[in-house]
Structure 1
Amino acid sequence: MTDHKTELPALLTDFDISLFQSGTHYRIYNKLGSHITEHNGVKGTSFAVWAPNAAYVSVVGNFNGWTRESAPLQLRNDHSGIWEGFIPQMGKGEYYKYFIRSNNGYEVEKGDPYAFHWETPPHTATVTWDLNYDWNDSSWMQSRKAEHAMNKPISVYEMHIGSWRRVDEENGRFMTYRELAAELPEYCNYMGFTHVEFMPVMEHPFYGSWGYQLTGYFAPSSRFGTPQDFMFLVDALHQAGIGVILDWVPSHFPTDEHGLGYFDGTHLYEHADPRKGFHPDWKSSIFNFGRNEVKSFLISNAIYWLDKFHIDALRVDAVASMLYLDYSRNEGEWIPNEFGGRENLEAIDFIRSFNDAVHTYFPDVFTVAEESTAWPGVTSPTNQGGLGFDMKWMMGWMHDTLSYFQLDPVHRTHHQGQLTFSIHYAFSEKFTLPLSHDEVVYGKHSLINKMPGDHWQQFANLRLLYAYMYGHPGAKLLFMGADFAQRHEWRHDFSLDWSENNNPAHTGIQHVLKDLNALYKEQPALYENNFSAEGFEWIDNQDAANCVMSWMRKGRNEADILIFVANFTPVVRNNYRVGTGKPGYYKEIFNSDNLKYGGADVIHKDELETYPVPKHGKTHSIPLTLPPLGIIVLKYVREFEWL
């Protein structure tokens, strides 16, 4: 067998080591891992891996027949615990792992934590690779810097790459990143979504985890192509004017032997004590956020996706599980912090450091927390004691809204508070309204099948739900399949049921969403004050007897006023009077009951005039005909000529 003696590549400097050990090396991916480079005029690949408890480390792979003694790495003499070496003539596309023999005698072959590319599961080797790519999204990147997304409409299409579409119905082959690039941007533009949110694209051994159990934090899943193929997809979306959000999972990782767990014969990335280091819900390991080298690994990973892949936002998964030491644990199953509390102080510090790093190096990028509790200041700046996120998923709104909509309209009279309650806290944080993948799996039913009533009423209720969502303050998020009212729950092993679009009722849902997204972009009242109480005013939230609610959305210009009137029953309400804050003429600019959506076409075609009839504390009001299970949106057009 050929001997592959390694040399020292000297990629890592003393300054790199200092930053890495202090938890602040936010681009350590440029130094650790494998890098195709040149050393002393010879082309090859450098390797560097953090394994402080190892007695011996070598590179094994196809290039040396997976022999453990042929390509040893050398331990740096600076107490960093980093092993490094350079293998001449080794280029791109070589499968490899690190063989580690620890000081306690443990032996294992591990994938490279910093690898840019992994072998396609169920195979588990890492692959030498480069990240060379010629981007064509300079216009998008410049406009992103000019105007932050938080100041504009944010309408997110959440999707799972492996099940949006399948290429071959017979064997269900995945679409590749490049095949997606040929269809997804056009579809998002057609529907009017501003962003795509990908459930985790990072490499994961178990497809059924949906990407939430990661082993390859720095590698897009090779199930769908190479890193450059994923770059091509992001590039295509940007050229079409669509932003890209990635789900990011810094909370936990799976226990697969080739992954991060028990990496060098010690609990290196995770806590040793299972009361802190093992997640009871997901049967996975919890990162040790108090270890600086782990902080460097995770924060540099976040920066990596923004840097190398031009990602526009990160949605951080399972933040609540990070914040609380007793999350999903019974008494005696968790360890209090140094002050005796349940707050995970190390995780809080990590989250703040993550958000500070992202906003320092990429001020035009935003971060979103999936945080399901009432933790204060999730979207407040870190220098004010907050966690530093830009937005937070409004889980309470989602649960209350879906609970209300699943009620038969005859019972809604007694539950209107489930809808009105959200405004009490709608501006305590900057919120995204999520109708996500979690709500259409595990027997929860698809959104259309949650809706009560006969076929017509189900679709009317769904149109009403979407229109109510777009009228509520906050950014919007909708999971794929809900955009055309898929009947099936989401199934990750199958394509969405696109054939349902041949049915006019399903096409009507697409059309209503398309028009709602257009309305959202066209009307400053719907986004200029999206996160401020100045942009919302109740007209009447007390008419529970009729299950009717009315409210105003307001822009920064006092003329930018929209009136929403929602009827949550299948009864047409004639001559229903709504108070207006401004006398003059109004025009109906949206009606979820429009015939083109599959509605009953109870619409107002002509301009509507206010009358000096006091109502809802206003001096003027408008008599309306409210459509069944519908929302109408009125826009102030002009004042009376004689005023």
Structure 2
Amino acid sequence: MVFDLLERRKKKFVLWIPSGQVFTPSLVLGTFSHVPQATVTEFFTGPLKRSDIPDLWELDPKDIEPPLKNGTVYHYWFELQSTSPDHPATFRVADPFAYTVDYRATKNRDENIQPPSVTKFRDDSNGRLWPCDIDGNEPSPVEVPPQDAMSDNNHMVIYELPASWAKYKPFGGVQIDVGTFSDVLALFDKNTTGQRFREIPQVASRAIVADLGINALELLPAADAWPTGEWGYATAHYYAPDFDLGTSSELVKLVEGIHKMGIRFLTDVVMAFGHDPYISIAFTQFHLNPEDEKENPDSYVSHSGELRNPWGGTLWRYIQEINTYNPESGAQENVHPSQAFHHGQLHRWMSDFCVDGLRLDSIENIANYDFIKSYKEKAWSLYKSRYGNGSSKFLVIGEEIKNVPIDMISKDTLNTLWNEPFQERLRAAIIGESSHGDNFEWTVRKMINCTLDSAHPFTDCAQAVNYITSHDVEGFRKERLFDFLWFAHVYDIERRTKLAFTCLLTAVGIPMIFAGEEFCDQMDRPTGQKQLDPVNYERLMRDWRSRVFNYVATLVDLRKKCPALGYNDTEFIHVDQSQGGKIMAWKRGAPAQAPVVVVANFTDQDTPGTEYIVHNWPQRGREDWREVTQRRNVPKEWVGREPLMHWEAKVYTYW
């Protein structure tokens, strides 16, 4: 599938300004040098030329003097004239469609000082401009893996990973740093040392996340963001990998590395607000300020009627339609500029980095169902062009933590939503409380089977993403699980954590594990801001945390492979009313399948006596039942009769 502007920029410098630009933009071209300090030595400034299509400006590299040199890496900006008396007469911006940007020559990270874009000139018969890394390396697209090597949606276990990590200083305290794509790969491949975290034994000597066994990596936004040391939600250059995380080539290596292990690559996309060059180039065509346009329906959040919040960025405008060059088709026609821009970045990431799923940030703040649906459908079209129409190992997931806009599922706007009520119910249940106005029994029922939640009626296990913790750790009961339990004066943290993961990994829905929760990481900085709480993999060396890790890994393996956990079928076979409904058993699996049975004790008391009978146990007479978490066979006479300790769950199957 072809995206016209992305094809054009292989041969010419191209700038799309859908605004009837009066002043001719210019190209500023130079080469990077480290001597005497990092700088771009400029040697050419010249005007772009109007294309035969309105609002498209181009410059053939063969028209530049002095001539460009074959194989040379060039840095460039576009220079425009300001129409505002409050700004300098001219200003420079990065190419909004740049595949690589370079911050080395910027004196400091300032949103108003844009980095140069990077390209390589290839003096072949076409005089091409070639995508390259800052060192001139030319990345190849990710090799498409066999479809059957990837996990089905209903057997997927997602690992949500920020690239901000923490490591201890020699004399106490915590040093926060930003990982790289190579450091991420080191979590999966013990033969990859990474770049910035080689001295952490747990990263250098083992493949932590591969040992956990997850089969989908969700990387927090991998597109370039201008701040450093944060989690990538201030996206500035949507077509370029984040400069601080590494190059396109290193991202390709990461994706190909995990694909060989059968692990899907998902990435976050931020489309409600941005920090992109079009804020300066054509603000009113791409962006808006809701306070200035209160009559515009584009200014309001979906469902709530509140004004959209830019969260430090600038909101994208999605409703406006303009007759201009269509960067996808190449024709002059009616176009929604912002929608077309984001369809383009979708082409880039799906085609070059072989993305296996997308998570759309803050969907109610995007606030345009038509655009979100078109983006989802475009993503599926690109995915099917990879494998064919029979493919189904792909999802477009929406995130919204204030509400669960279930109509986005029923109207086929998205495939899947984050299931925020799961987190709320689980955190209540593991401290013995009820939630959402239900009694304790129904708190657990709706937690384990989201199709029972009449307020948010999911109808399929691939429609909901469940989680104990997410990267949104600010707010009431949102912090890391360790800290939540500690603040609740719960001190048997290992036991409660294992119970929480049993619920997560046997519930209806796609389980997602926030990096570090698998060994009960804790917060190193004050609560309240997600960016200040990186993952501290050094904690994995502590005995009790290692036990939690091994317990979670065992259940992850079951969740990935056991057919019963990939279906919606759930039956609660036991509710002990003598214990306030806080000892329960549920069975997962369709009638013809080998079931998974979970027995859970949500009380402070061990079950009395030497046995605890679950009367409705299925197929009690079989001799091949086993308890999964302890990896042991259950004698026939003890099937459905084993006692439970306080805050303990046991998981049984004969599959």
**What TM-score do the two structures reach when normalised by structure 1?**
0.75
Counterpart for residue 117 of structure 1: 100
Distance 2:533 2:620 in 1: 54
Any idea what SS the aligned residue of 1:451 has? helix
Is 1:386 matched up with 2:407?
no
Q: Go from structure 1 to structure 2 and tell me whether the alpha carbon gap of 1:135 and 1:69 turns closer, same or farther (over 3 Å shift).
A: closer
Aligned positions of 1:33-72 closer than 5 A: 34-35=9-10, 37=11, 46-54=13-21, 55-63=23-31, 70-72=45-47
Amino acid at match of 2:156: I
Q: Go from structure 1 to structure 2 and tell me whether the alpha carbon gap of 1:93 and 1:181 turns closer, same or farther (over 3 Å shift).
A: farther
Distance 1:66 1:461 in 2: 60
- For 2:473, which of 416, 440, 443 is the aligned residue? 440
Contact 1:585/1:608, CA 8 A, preserved across alignment: no
Distance 1:589 1:391 in 2: 33
Counterpart for residue 635 of structure 2: 606
Distance 1:295 1:26 in 2: 16
- For 2:277, which of 259, 265, 273 is the aligned residue? 259
Q: Go from structure 1 to structure 2 and tell me whether the alpha carbon gap of 1:208 and 1:176 turns closer, same or farther (over 3 Å shift).
A: closer
Counterpart for residue 84 of structure 1: 58
Q: Go from structure 1 to structure 2 and tell me whether the alpha carbon gap of 1:151 and 1:116 turns closer, same or farther (over 3 Å shift).
A: closer
Is 1:368 matched up with 2:397?
yes
Counterpart for residue 12 of structure 1: none
Contact 2:222/2:241, CA 8 A, preserved across alignment: yes
- For 1:270, which of 266, 284, 287 is the aligned residue? 287
CA displacement 1:96-117 (0-9 Å, x = unmatched): 2211125677743111110001
Distance 2:484 2:174 in 1: 30
Q: What is the aligned length?
A: 540
Counterpart for residue 295 of structure 1: 339
Contact 1:113/1:260, CA 8 A, preserved across alignment: yes
RMSD, aligned α-carbons: 3.4
Counterpart for residue 91 of structure 2: 108
Amino acid at match of 1:250: M
Distance 1:173 1:375 in 2: 36
CA displacement 1:189-229 (0-9 Å, x = unmatched): 21110111100011111235521111110011111221111
- For 1:160, which of 159, 162, 168 is the aligned residue? 162
CA displacement 1:567-591 (0-9 Å, x = unmatched): 0123211433211243422655446
Is 1:484 matched up with 2:519?
yes
Q: Go from structure 1 to structure 2 and tell me whether the alpha carbon gap of 1:92 and 1:634 turns closer, same or farther (over 3 Å shift).
A: same
Counterpart for residue 184 of structure 1: 188
Deviation of the 1:386 alpha carbon: 2.2
Contact 1:153/1:520, CA 8 A, preserved across alignment: yes
Aligned positions of 1:96-495 closer than 5 A: 96-101=76-81, 107-120=90-103, 122=109, 124-129=114-119, 130=131, 132-134=138-140, 137-138=143-144, 141-142=145-146, 144=147, 146=148, 149-163=151-165, 174-185=178-189, 186-207=207-228, 209-254=230-275, 259-264=277-282, 266-271=283-288, 273-275=292-294, 276=298, 279-280=308-309, 282-290=311-319, 291=321, 292-323=336-367, 347-363=368-384, 364=391, 365-372=394-401, 373-380=403-410, 385-387=411-413, 389-407=414-432, 415-422=440-447, 423=449, 424-425=452-453, 427-428=458-459, 430-441=463-474, 444-451=478-485, 457-488=492-523, 492=531
Contact 2:626/2:654, CA 8 A, preserved across alignment: no
Deviation of the 1:154 alpha carbon: 0.7
Contact 2:587/2:595, CA 8 A, preserved across alignment: yes
Any idea what SS the aligned residue of 1:538 has? strand
Amino acid at match of 1:386: D
Contact 1:92/1:128, CA 8 A, preserved across alignment: no
Distance 2:643 2:175 in 1: 52
Q: Go from structure 1 to structure 2 and tell me whether the alpha carbon gap of 1:117 and 1:394 turns closer, same or farther (over 3 Å shift).
A: same
Is 1:634 matched up with 2:652?
yes
CA displacement 1:302-344 (0-9 Å, x = unmatched): 2321110111111111112223xxxxxxxxxxxxxxxxxxxxx
Counterpart for residue 536 of structure 1: 570
Contact 1:188/1:242, CA 8 A, preserved across alignment: no
Contact 1:29/1:304, CA 8 A, preserved across alignment: no
Distance 2:220 2:563 in 1: 30
Deviation of the 1:156 alpha carbon: 0.9
Counterpart for residue 123 of structure 2: none
**What TM-score do the two structures reach when normalised by structure 2?**
0.74
Counterpart for residue 523 of structure 1: 562
Amino acid at match of 2:508: P
Greater displacement, 395-404 / 502-511:
395-404
Any idea what SS the aligned residue of 2:351 has? helix
Contact 2:29/2:43, CA 8 A, preserved across alignment: no
Distance 1:97 1:159 in 2: 33
CA displacement 1:138-161 (0-9 Å, x = unmatched): 5xx22x2x4774455111111111
Contact 2:150/2:264, CA 8 A, preserved across alignment: no
CA displacement 1:325-381 (0-9 Å, x = unmatched): xxxxxxxxxxxxxxxxxxxxxx1111111111111221343211113434344334x
Percent of aligned pairs with the same residue? 16
Distance 1:223 1:428 in 2: 40
Counterpart for residue 3 of structure 2: 27
